[in-house]
Structure 1
Amino acid sequence: MVKTIFWDFDGVIMNSMPIRNKGFELVLKDYPSTEVAQLMAYHLSNGGLSRYVKFRYFFEKIRKEINVTDDKILRYASMFSKVMLKELKNPDLLIDDSLAFIKSNYGRFDMHIVSGSDQTELRQICSSIGIDQYFSTINGSPASKTEILKELLNRFEYQTQNCVLVGDSINDLSAAKSFGIHFIGYNNPALMSLSDSYLESFREF
């Protein structure tokens, strides 16, 4: 029996991926386009990873820079966040299907956002567009999804058999399986053959 739902945010609650794609391109516009293209390929295939991981991958793995400091990563993450806060405080970007389910089942399930997006930024966005009230907690990076899930499971003493995680990426699936949480794929047909369950629409839930 499902009692708790952990929600990914980007691509599940908000159609924000095109804007996040644009954000990486804008922040890295002074670097060679071939290098940025490699970062974008990594970004698109690792939707659940945080920007901190992706920027570090860009400088260390793609550009082969040595001794990349945390301050440098934080500086680029901050630049990225400014773009996101400007562009994502837009309720028109919310996905109607999942939002309708969240609103109609608020109180029936204990719901949390577990995202790879920056936590401070994510909370500002959710508050600005008026959806923060539906979630017990809103969680994001720099903590990883597995770290967030571990903390929530311990803090609220949830039984994993009563939990599901709704996500649109392989990283979401991996995080759920790390704790034996049932995974529901959404908004990414590539997950149909990999996930425990897949929803075309929340009318099927």
Structure 2
Amino acid sequence: MNPGFWQAVLFDFDGVVLDSNPARTEGFRRLFSGYPESAVEALLRYHEENGGLSRYDKIAHFFKDILKRDIPPGELGRHAERFSSLVKQAVIDSPFIPGAAEYFGRRHPFPLYLVSGSDQDELREICGRLGIASSFAGIFGSPTPKTENVARILSSGGYPADRVVLIGDSRNDQEAARANRTRFIARASGRPAWLAADAPHIQDLSQLDQVLCDAAGRG
């Protein structure tokens, strides 16, 4: 690989670093267990089809678009906090995507960033407990939208967009890359209703070095 080509590499978290998408799905099921099953199933479909979207957006969608009701004052924050308490340990206990622990355990010729739809404070705590926080030049999450966080990284680092790549496993990840004109690599995590046909794919992070090398050659 030409070490000077890539100036920054950005990673989504759930489904790219950790195999934690199932933990998030179960968290939403438990969060809304007292509501009609059909409404909960509709939310879970929305959640699965909108990886990379924050819990705040998904909770708001549940009330406004599925239940067709306004969210009482303070309810969004309370639900988000309860969701965190339901999923945090389950996420920490989720296995690394193959190759991830090794990838983040070594030095690279470019800075690494984490850009997730997960709550930012929670994400930083989880990365600290997993022992990978120091691998990243920055860890960014919600409630700031992913597209804005990617733009912030580009601006603060002075990185040219075509020398930055985002690795993600959802349509929202790809849209954040596209909106900022960065490159994109799809991690095939099995999400339904999404296939980045126009982007390079990896099965896990053990393949990332080669795909980055190939993409740099096409740059």
Provide the residue aligned with 1:89 in structure 2.
Answer: 92
| Aligned residue number for residue 102 of structure 1 | 104
Within 5 Å, give how 1:122-137 maps onto structure 2: 122-137=123-138
Give the aligned partner of residue 61 of structure 1.
Answer: 65
Cα distance in 2 for partners of 1:8, 1:191 equals: 16
Residue in 2 aligned with 1:38?
Answer: 42
Q: How far apart are 1:70 and its partner, in Å?
A: 5.6
For the pair 1:72 / 2:114, whether they are aligned, the reply is: no
Shift of 1:192: 4.5
- Pick the aligned partner of 1:22 from 18, 26, 34: 26
Aligned to 1:12: 16
- TM normalised by structure 1 equals 0.92
* TM-score normalised by L of structure 2: 0.87
Q: Is the 8 A contact 1:52 1:77 kept in 2?
A: yes
Task: Identify the residue that residue 145 of structure 1 maps to in structure 2.
Answer: 146
Cα deviations across residues 47-70 of structure 1 (Å, max 9, x unaligned)?
01000000000000000003x246
SS in 2 for 1:88: helix
Aligned-residue sequence identity (percent) comes to 34
Q: Which residue of 2 aligns with 1:193?
A: 197
Query: For this pair of structures, how many residues does the alignment match?
Result: 201
Letter paired with 1:199: I
Q: Which amino acid aligns with 1:3?
A: Q
Amino acid in the other structure paired with 1:82 = S
Shift of 1:194: 3.5
RMSD: 1.5
Letter aligned with residue 98 of structure 1: A
Residue identity matched to 2:98? D
Does the 8 Å contact 2:115/2:139 carry over to 1? yes
Q: Does the CA-based 8 Å contact 1:191-1:198 persist in structure 2?
A: no
More off after superposition, 39-48 vs 181-190: 181-190
Structure 1 pair 101–56 and aligned structure 2 pair: CA distance change class (3 A):
same
Counterpart residue type for residue 99 of structure 2:
D
For structure 1, list consecutive stretches of 5 or more residues without a partner in the other structure: none
- Give every structure 1 segment of 4 or more consecutive aligned residues whose post-TM-superposition deviation is greater than 6 Å: none
Tell me if structure 1 keeps the 8 A contact 2:168–2:186. Answer: yes
| Structure 2 Cα separation of the partners of residues 12 and 21 of structure 1 | 16
Letter in 2 for 1:200: Q
Structure 2 residue ranges without an equivalent (≥5): 212-219
